[in-house]
Structure formats: C-alpha cells, structure tokens
Structure 1
Amino acid sequence: MSSYKINNTLNTVYNKDARSILDTIPSDIKIATTITSPPYFDMKDYNSDDQVGYGQTYDDYLNDLKLIFSGVYEITEEDGSLWIIIDTFKREGQVVTLPFDLSSKLKEIGWLLQDVIIWKKDKTVPWSMGGFMQRKFEYILFFTKSAKYKSNKDNVRVYDTAHLKKWWVKYPERYNPKGKALDEVWEFPIPVQGSWGDKYIRHFCPLPTDMVATMIQLSTNENDIVLDPFAGSGTVLSQSAYMKRNYIGFETNKDYIEMFTAYLQKTIDENSAEYELASTGVQDDFENTILNLRALKYARVLVASIQKKLAIKDIKVIVVRGEKSTLRNKLIKVTYRFITLTPSDAILAAAESLINKQPLSKFGIEPSFDFVQIEEIDLTGKNGYTITNTYSFNKQLDLLNPSIKVISEIKVDLNEKDYL
C-alpha cells in the first residue's frame, strides 16, 4: 500500500450537502482549483434527500448553485480557479441554456469567466435526446478568482508526435518546443461502463480521467488542494491523489463514497506510479528534438542565404549546440563554424545581415560564428545533412560531397511520412 494517507480535513470525502462548504472546511484551508460537474437540474435522481437539482424549480436550482459556488469562491486562493462541466437540455420544446444561465449567476459572485471549452465526447447520455441532431459535446466553463491566475499551460501542451501534423518535421520553427498549445475543443471519450475492470466505479456520468488530469495540470502544482463539491464516483478526487495533490470532496450518496474509498485503495499505487512515469522525460525529449531540428535547419537556411547573397557555392557549416539562451525570445545558443575558402569578413558580414531578419529571426536561436580549417575537422561522431534536408542525416558523410552542407554531432533521422 502507498504511503498516501488521509487526515481529518484534507483527502476526505464529506458525506454532506455542498451547501455546507463554509461550515465544514476550516477557514485556513485554501483551494487551488475546483473541478466539478453539478447535477444537470432535474435530469437525474441521485437518491439523496434535499438534493440540488432534482425536485427543485429551475430558479431554486440556480440559486443553490450560486450559494455553493459563492462558498467555493471564499475559500479559493487569489490565483485559484473553477472548472464546471455542464450542458444544455430541452424543456417544452426548446433548449434551456444552463451553462450560460449559471455563468451569469457566478459573475454576480465575482468569478471571472476566462474560457468556454467544448468537450467533444463522441458518446451521449440519455437526456440529450429530443432533437434532430445527435448530441456529442458538453461545455466546460473555466472561471478564475482574479485576472492573475495559476496557469501551467506548458505542462499540458500536445507533445506526442503521433498527434501532430507531419509539418513539424520540416518546419520545427513553427512549433513550440514544449508542444502544441491546447485549443478550445477537447476530445475525450466518455469512459465505457465496466471498461476499467473490477476496479471501475459505476456512476451515471463518469468523467474521463485524462480530461480531469489536464485540468489539474493546468491549474495546480503538487501538494495543492483540489475540491469537488459534487464528487459522485470520485474521478476528480482519485486523479488528484494520483498526481500528488490533496483533495476535498462532498457527496450526499454514501454508496458512492464507499465505492470511491475502495477504488482508491486498489489503484493508488499503480496510478501514482503511472503519473511519475508520465512526468519524466517524454516532454523533455520532444523539446530536445525540436531544438535540434531548429539548430540544424537554421544552418541550412543560413548557408543557402549566404551563398545566394555572395554568389558562391563552397560554404559548409559545422553546428555546435550550446546552452540555454538568457536573451528574450531566444531559446538556445548555437555556434556555427564555417568551412570555406571565401574570406571570413564577407561571410560574417553576410551572416550578421541575415540573422535579425525573417526567417532566421523566428528560430529562437542566439547564434555565434567562427571558422575552421578543413584539415582541422574530425568527423568522428558527426553527421552530415544536405542543403534541402536537415531532418534526416546522410548515411555517407564525405566533406568532398558538394551536397553535404551541414555537419553536426546532432543526429536526427525523421521521415515526415511516419506522422499524420
């Protein structure tokens, strides 16, 4: 069993109504983010007395949600946030705009609506019937307590190359080394009932764990506190535990709390280990690859531009990648050592005239230049690239080969056809 422990306040699911938040959570506890999906009005009976939504009028339901999220607002850190997964529904032959009605209520409290995200879920739930189009999305409303809020956006960039267009191979300067930024349409399928085996928690509307993990990564750091006032099966809480966050939940159905407790005990070790593994190295590998591709392509563009400017053809360059740059808008230092018979002052002047203009100014590289004599070059461990391809090294490195223009210890061998 993991060393993960539950104390009296943190890492607890209260068998209480969320309207009692301020009476339950001590005043010295501050929430980093709240992630929740409240009952969608009267669509589902969650089998508890005096529940929010079921059995209420629409106005009373909205007012109770306002009360709950007012309490959440009070205990949230100044740079904290709130995620609400919610949807529209139909009544009396027309759409009820619940997400937008609730948003108006929360603005009255002081919550600032920062983003409206479309959750494309592919599957649907029973209450989305009644229209002539199949319902395949819900809304995610993202609020913050203040204009300056915690946002770890680099932690959730798309850096899995299987999900990037093939153009990243040829055009690395167009891709952030941390990965592609999230957009406002998130594709996460609803978990299939029973798909997680005997450890799975049966619940009417389970949330995708990857989607919850994305919200947690964006809005919190390790050891922060995550709240879910409508905990249900506990997806938000369990995912918080796996990711080294503390959690607090409220749930009026005792059966769900018992299922969650058993589920967390069965899964905490395995899923915490998966989180540790996913947190190490993969994004760093992508960043390193993009920077390598940028350093090499920069050399190729530089050589081609100088040759054109000076009307010469004999330039080659050795690329030596250096440390991280401290300059604004620059990412790495790279030394470019020219191999040429052309006088050095002409080469340097041409290079200096090009580096602050597009396209080279867009690569995020802080360059430095020098020269090397051909007899001084040791080709051991080095790779050659052509004037048209710096993403796949030439298998035969020969300095006398006129097509080889870029030489480096950096080794990349990518085929854009291997990607989307």
Structure 2
Amino acid sequence: MAKNKLNQVYNIDSRHILESIPQNIEIQTTITSPPYFDMKDYGSENQVGYGQIYEDYLNDLQNIFGQILKITKDDGTLWIIIDTFKRNNQVVSLPFDLANKLKDIGWFLQDIIIWKKDKTVPWSTNGFMQRKFEYILFFSKSPKYKSNKDKVRIYDTSQLKKWWVKYPERYNPKGKALDEIWEFPIPVQGSWGDEYIRHFCPLPKELVATMVQISTDENDIILDPFAGSGTVLSQSAYMKRNYIGFELNNEYIKMFENYLKRTIKKYRKEYELLEQQNNQSDFEIQILNLRVLKYARLLINKIEEETARDDFKIFVTIKNRSSKRNKSIVAEYQIIGDAESDNILKLINEIIVKPPLSKFGIEAIFKCVKENKVKSKNVFGYSKTNSYSYIKNIDMSSPKVKVISDICVDLNEKDYD
C-alpha cells in the first residue's frame, strides 16, 4: 500500500479522485458534506456547486461518488451530510435527488438520519419556520457492510428512562440503539478557543466520531472528498484511523494541518481514555442480572397462580453466557416446594414458551427440590413484586421472600427519573 498517499489532504479537485489515489488503496468509509450547491462561495475556481446549474451540480456529485464507489471496500460505506434549500419560492429536495442519482450507480441507501443541530446556517432562506436540521444519507457498497452499531449504543443509565430498571427485557444488554434523530449542536465561533477552525459549516466532532465508530475500526482508511476545515480528517486521526482528504481551498488545508498538530496529542489521549473507561460491559451485566431475577419472579408467580399455592420459592444463579441463537445467558432455577417434580417441570415448560418469559433471551435450566437448603450467607431475597431491589434485614425463610439468589441488585427507579 502506498502509505505516502495516506494521512494527507490534497489540493486537488475531487472530480479527479481516481487519478490521485492508487488502485491498491481501499476506502472503508467516506464521510463528507458536499458544497451547498450555489448557496455559498468556498473561494475556489471551478468549484462544485457555486455558479453551476442544478443538473450539472448533481451530475458532478454522481461522478465523484461513482469514483469513490470503485475504490471502496466491498463492506464499505458512505455518509453524506446534506440539506434541502429554497429556490424560486419552493423547497428543492437535494438530499432525495442525490440519493436517487447514487442508487442509479450502485450505492445502496441504508438509512436517512435527521441531524438536529439547533442552529441554522448563516445563509438559510427565511421561512415561517427556522431550519434546525439536516439530513444524513447513509449508503453501503453492498448489502453486507461493516457496522459496529453495538459500540454506539446508549448504555449510560443517566440517559435512559427509568423503565430499564423494571423492564430489562425491553433493553438490549449492549444498550439502547441509536434512533434516526441525532442531536449534535453546531460548534459556535470561539467554542474551541484558539484551536477552533474558522469555516462556514464546521461539523461537530462528536457527530463525526459516531460515524467513524459505526463504520470503521482502527487503522481503516477514511475519505473526505470535500474536506473543508478537516473535521472528518482530524477526528479520524484522533481515533487511530488513516485518512485521505481533497480540498480546493489551500487556506483550509493549512488551517487543518496547523490545527491537527496542536490538538492530536490532546484528543488522541482523550479517545484512548474513553476506550479504556468504556463501561458498556457493566451495563450489560446489570441488564442480564435484572433479566435473570425478573424471569425467576414472574415464573414463581405463574407457578403459584396455576397451582393455587403460595408456598414456593425459587433459587437462581447465573452459569455462563449462552451460545444459542437469541439467548444471552444461561441460568439455573431451583424450584423449592413440596410438589411432584414431573408436574412442576411440565407446567414450567408450558409457561416459558409463551410471552413474557419467551422474550427474555435466557437459556434456563430447571430443577425441583423439596426443601430450602440454600445457606442465607451471601444470598439475597426478592419479593413477588420487586426483583430490582433486594429485601433488607429479612430471613430467607420468610414467606415474603420468593426469589433467592447470589445476584445482588439494589436499584431505585426514582433515581432515574
């Protein structure tokens, strides 16, 4: 691979990408915001957008992204940040016109994301409503593409509604998936202090980082054919990816190079610390613990309801991760009570194949014992109505205790309002 072609911004028209990048370089993802048609002059002659007629503009973009398709890996992707605009007193649907152009040449449109940015661009045409969002078009080269979607799930419990405490079966153990509305405010002038790059439309680095995390791994190559101030390229460098940029305005290239030199150590370290402090696994353990306990509580309640008895208990312990499809965890459930094992096991098999227990993703092992032989040391008791906060200062033989486990969970849903 021609490494000298990586990690540089070229002062070359992006309409000549194939002439500039060696064929042995393969792009993993492209992240870019094309020029806003003729809404703004970016200070270069023969630029894409400004001064063109609309069809020529669309055709140039189709040509550029067609070239990019040829140098993109088979599992590669393309992110385009783009907006509608008003012309002759009506909205021009640029994102959708461009999407159709790119589908015609082989790109697969996978998602349309709304970027809620809270601020309008300086040249937005006034209407009766403020424009505070743009579109993000997400394409892939083939139906099977790289997607690290689990890495960007929301697992910070302060950002989740309190329902995750009572309804853990509704949450993926990796966290809540991103929805199609992303909220990232546009950086304001001076918000990055002396490090700030002056550009008409600076992209939030958190927005770019999300795309980088979803579509690439470390050492992959990221392309921005309209590099501008270089937010995509700098974020790629911070996150240990390789980058290639194209930009006609040489002043922007100089700004980017100076900016990256000043910030690479700071933001690379920040990225490394975030990777080390990733507590997604802690959330996963917590969700699975809550699921296992709630499964036990619902099961014992259903057994008592079907048998018209109220003297059963259940002891549950986690064994290991499950290798079965659609199952996350293996847990053993000991049904404690003076009843015929065969009858109880038959009843359990009828219960667990129906919702809600069939939705928990638990590979369950069942046993029946007549007496409670569980030692009270290092175990915790839960009631028939609450499996997310253990009962304090109570004997395990108490009729209030229905679920006994070595899993300790003590959550207050009000803490997550």
- TM-score, length basis structure 2: 0.95
Q: Which amino acid aligns with 2:46?
A: D
The C-alpha deviation readout for 1:337-370, integer Å capped at 9, x for no partner, is 2332334333323222212221111100011122
Residue number in structure 2 paired with 1:3: none
Deviation at 1:321, TM superposition (A): 0.7
Deviation at 1:22, TM superposition (A): 0.6
Work out the CA distance in 2 between the residues paired with 1:67 and 1:114.
Answer: 20
Residue number in structure 2 paired with 1:352: 349
* Aligned residue runs from structure 1 range 190-339, under 5 A: 190-280=186-276, 281-339=278-336
Work out the CA distance in 2 between the residues paired with 1:200 and 1:380.
Answer: 58
Work out the CA distance in 2 between the residues paired with 1:233 and 1:404.
Answer: 62
The equivalent position to 2:179 in structure 1, one of 178, 183, 194, is 183
Work out the CA distance in 2 between the residues paired with 1:122 and 1:28.
Answer: 41
| 2:9–2:245 Cα contact (<8 Å) kept | yes
Work out the CA distance in 1 between the residues paired with 2:98 and 2:299.
Answer: 55
The C-alpha deviation readout for 1:99-143, integer Å capped at 9, x for no partner, is 122222222222121221111111111222321111111111111
Q: Which amino acid aligns with 2:300?
A: V
Residue number in structure 2 paired with 1:141: 137
| 2:336–2:372 Cα contact (<8 Å) kept | no
The equivalent position to 2:28 in structure 1, one of 16, 28, 32, is 32
Work out the CA distance in 1 between the residues paired with 2:392 and 2:265.
Answer: 46
| 2:338–2:370 Cα contact (<8 Å) kept | no
Q: Which amino acid aligns with 1:400?
A: S
The C-alpha deviation readout for 1:175-234, integer Å capped at 9, x for no partner, is 111112222221111112211222222211111112111111221122111100011111
Work out the CA distance in 2 between the residues paired with 1:416 and 1:255.
Answer: 53
Residue number in structure 1 paired with 2:84: 88
CA RMSD for the aligned pairs? 1.7
Work out the CA distance in 1 between the residues paired with 2:408 and 2:249.
Answer: 57
Structure 1 segments (4+ residues) deviating >4 Å: 371-375
Q: Which amino acid aligns with 2:45?
A: D
Long gaps (5+) in structure 1? 1-5
Gap change, CA 1:188 and 1:216, over 3 Å in 2: same
Q: Which moved more, 1:327-336 or 1:120-129?
A: 120-129
Matched, 1:103 2:90: no
Q: Secondary structure of 1:13's partner? A: strand
Matched residue count = 415
| 2:339–2:370 Cα contact (<8 Å) kept | no
Q: Which moved more, 1:365-374 or 1:183-192?
A: 365-374
The equivalent position to 2:416 in structure 1, one of 405, 414, 419, is 419
Residue number in structure 2 paired with 1:382: 379
Q: Which amino acid aligns with 1:359?
A: P
Q: Which amino acid aligns with 2:72?
A: T
Q: Sequence identity, in percent?
A: 65
Work out the CA distance in 1 between the residues paired with 2:167 and 2:62.
Answer: 48
Work out the CA distance in 2 between the residues paired with 1:295 and 1:79.
Answer: 37
Long gaps (5+) in structure 2? none
Gap change, CA 1:276 and 1:319, over 3 Å in 2: farther
Gap change, CA 1:372 and 1:274, over 3 Å in 2: farther
- TM-score, length basis structure 1: 0.94
Q: Which amino acid aligns with 2:128?
A: F
Q: Secondary structure of 1:126's partner? A: coil
| 2:312–2:336 Cα contact (<8 Å) kept | yes
Deviation at 1:291, TM superposition (A): 0.4
Deviation at 1:299, TM superposition (A): 0.5
Work out the CA distance in 2 between the residues paired with 1:347 and 1:355.
Answer: 12
Residue number in structure 2 paired with 1:79: 75
Deviation at 1:242, TM superposition (A): 1.7
Deviation at 1:7, TM superposition (A): 4.7
| 2:114–2:180 Cα contact (<8 Å) kept | yes
